[in-house]
Amino acid sequence: MAGSRWSVASPGRRRGSELERAILDAALEQLSTVGWNALTMEGVAAGSHTGKASLYRRWPSKADLVADALRTGLPQIGEIADGGSIREDLHLLCVRTRDVMHSRAGQALRSVLHECDHKHAERFHGVIWSGLHEPAQRLIRELVLRGIARGDVRPDATGPFVVDVIPAMLMYRAKVCGSEWGDTEIAELIDEVMVPLLRA
């Protein structure tokens, strides 16, 4: 009997990046289920099947852990292949940006911003900036320059506000208006705002 009990191999102890990934996944799961205010280091430790000491060795506080979980969990927008027109290029960028916002980490980030206090909100806004807004702005700038070279964007459409329009509208409608971006809304943003703004 004793032999059969010990014949069942116990799972190997996780270390390094494997353990960190499990902890970060557990933190995102906690954010999705209980939110920022109710999330605890104890709950994340239980969810990742490790001890609290493993968390505190890597993240001094709940805010540090959550910021890292959100930062690493946000999908990348990725490069935008040439679709042949500024309309097609920007449409794909909007769809990709929406997918990031609708990912588990994107939804968790939005809920955290609704719950947390002003001090922590500033920190998590930084996660949005580095993980979503800055990459989107960089890509929009590249797409506009591509359109200028292609001839379907006016040559002087290089001002700083041009790259702000899409990220600002997506965030405003999601955060302030509480509305989601369907395919129809994305098409209207491109056709009624961006194309007229950029047309050569």
Instruction: Please give the average per-residue pLDDT across 18-25, as a whole number.
Output: 95
For 78-132, the pLDDT digits (tens) are: 999 999 999 999 999 999 998 998 899 988 888 888 888 888 888 888 888 898 8
User: Please, are residues 108 and 28 in contact by the beta-carbon 8 Å criterion?
Assistant: yes
Write the pLDDT tens digit of every residue in 53-74. 999 999 999 999 999 999 999 9
- 44 and 97 assigned to the same domain: no
In whole angstroms, give the CA distance from residue 28 to residue 73.
8
Region 134-157: mean pLDDT is: 96
Which domain range does residue 147 map to?
A: 78-198
Q: How far apart are CA 148 and CA 157, in angstroms?
A: 8
What distance in Å separates the CA atoms of residue 110 and residue 38, rounded to the nearest whole number?
16
First to last CA, the chain: 81
- Identify the domain boundary among 54, 72, 90: 72
pLDDT at 155: 96
Q: For the domain that residue 18 is a member of, what is the CATH number?
A: 1.10.10.60
Q: Are residues 36 and 134 in the same domain?
A: no
